[in-house]
Each structure stands twice: as C-alpha cells, then as structure tokens.
Amino acid sequence: MKLLANKIALITGASQGIGRSIALQFAEQGADVLFTDIRADERSQSLLDELKALGVRAAFYAADASSLEQTEEVSKAIAEEFGRVDVLVNNAGITRDTLLMRMSAEDWEKVIRLNLTSVFNYTKVFSLMMMRQRSGSIINMASIVGLNGNAGQANYSASKAGIIGFTKSIAKELGSRNIRSNAIAPGFIETAMTRQLSDEVIAHWKQEIPLRRPGLPEDVARVALFLASDLSAYVTGQVLCCDGGLSL
C-alpha cells in the first residue's frame, strides 16, 4: 500500500526546487497533487505533465501565496473540483538577503509577507476544510535560520522563526480536530535559492556540514513524506531539521 493512497495534497510554490520534489514524491506514493506558484509557465506545465504521467490526479493554480483573496479563490476552485485537502505544504518562500543597515522596509515587508503571511493565508483557509474532515496534516517550510539566526538574513530568519511559533500554536489549536501541524527546518539545500549565493559562501557552508554534503530537494521531500503520512500520526507541533547536522 502506498503511503499517501487516497490522499489529496496541496503544495504552495511548487514549480521548482523543494516543492517540486515534494510534489513528485507525494505522487509516487499515491497522492493526488494540487500545487500553486506565482505564475503559470513551462516549469508548472512540466510538473503537471510529470504528475499526471505518474497516474494521479493533478492540478495547478497560478496564485500569489501572500494574497488572502487569491488563496480564497484557490480554495473555491479546489472545493468544487476535489472537495477536500488532506495534506497542506506551505512551501513558497523567497530571500532578500542583506545586512540590516542596508535592508529597506520593502525588503523586510516582502519577505515577511510572502514567507509568513502566506502560511497564515493557506492555513486559515484550508484548515476549515480539514476541520470538517476531522483530519489533516499541515507542513510548514521553516529553516534552521529560523532557529539560529544568520547575519544578512534578519528578514528571512524572522519570517522562519515566525513560522515555527505559528506551527506550534496551530498544533495546539487544531489537535483536538485530528489536524497535525509540523515544520521542517532545512539547512543548506541545492536549489535556485542557494545558487544565488557566492562560491565563497557556498564553500563555507559545505565545510560546516557534519555530513559533508549539501542537501538535495529529495532529502527534504522524504521528511515531508513522513510528516504527511500516517507514519507520523502521533507527531505534532514539531520542527524537524533536515540539515546534515549543520544546526548542531
């Protein structure tokens, strides 16, 4: 029996990187996969094709995760076509790295709005569906930077620390409805997000990782699979680091 048979999963910002890998692993484990991203393009189309080729139902919604109005539109469309969501992965995220002295109010607000307010939007709207179902698993993509901080990432680390507090509060609020809420804190994962960094910074981080390799999106997707499935039926309010030991 596949781990996510008969489940419907929704993943935000999944056209590339970690979200894409989660979408594919969920589909391989039998889930119908619905995903969003800021716009429709060749990445979203190719993921849609790959998911359908795996024999599951799949759908894509172009929506800005930081907009509550657009989140409600996505929810309406999903309610009409699929009727339920069993697993929600709040994955969409951005960086606008710079030292505090140079950080503009716009850099701050953009990162908080997309990384943190998006988690509020999707959790608020889709937990209603889960409450009616009396089951659900919510997985929020935090970061080890939300636990430990990082110079040059005050906006990003604040958004990820916020996600951790939110995750724990929701676990307490919704546990009695059999809805679980957990966070994943990835370390240094090879995606477009980390490819923006300089070679020097990348070399530094790689050297600091006890497992001596950067993470792959698939490494994070396997943790998401655990949290999405009944393997983690008694796990809620937790932050699972997926970082090769980097945060130790």
Q: Which is nearer to ligand NAD, 233 or 248 (CB)?
A: 248
Q: Please give the sequence-ordered ranges of beta strands (E in DSSP) within 39-105, or none if there are none.
A: 58-62, 87-90
Asked if residues 149 and 157 have their Cβ atoms less than 8 Å apart, the reply is yes
Q: Which residue is listed with tokens 């949290």?
A: 227
CA–CA dist 128, 184 (Å, integer) = 22
Site for ligand NAD in 126-165 (CB under 6 A): 141, 143
The answer to whether residue 15 forms part of the interface with ligand NAD (CB under 6 A) is yes
Site for ligand NAD in 155-214 (CB under 6 A): 186, 188-189, 191-194
User: Can you list the alpha helix ranges (DSSP code H) found in 82-211?
Assistant: 105-112, 118-133, 145-148, 154-174, 192-195, 199-208
The answer to whether residue 13 forms part of the interface with ligand NAD (CB under 6 A) is yes
DSSP secondary structure letter of residue 232: G
The answer to whether residue 107 forms part of the interface with ligand NAD (CB under 6 A) is no
Task: Give the binding range for ligand NAD (CB under 6 A) out of 47-55, 59-67, 80-88, 99-107.
Answer: 59-67
DSSP secondary structure letter of residue 113: I
Interior/surface letters 202-213, b for 16+ CB within 10 angstroms, e for the rest = beeeeeebeeee
Q: Which is nearer to ligand NAD, 118 or 236 (CB)?
A: 118
Is 234 in the active site?
no
Using CB under 6 A, count the residues that bind ligand NAD.
27
Task: Give the binding range for ligand NAD (CB under 6 A) out of 63-71, 97-105, 173-181, 227-235.
Answer: 63-71
Contact positions vs ligand NAD (CB under 6 A): 12-13, 15-19, 36-38, 64-66, 91-94, 114, 141, 143, 186, 188-189, 191-194
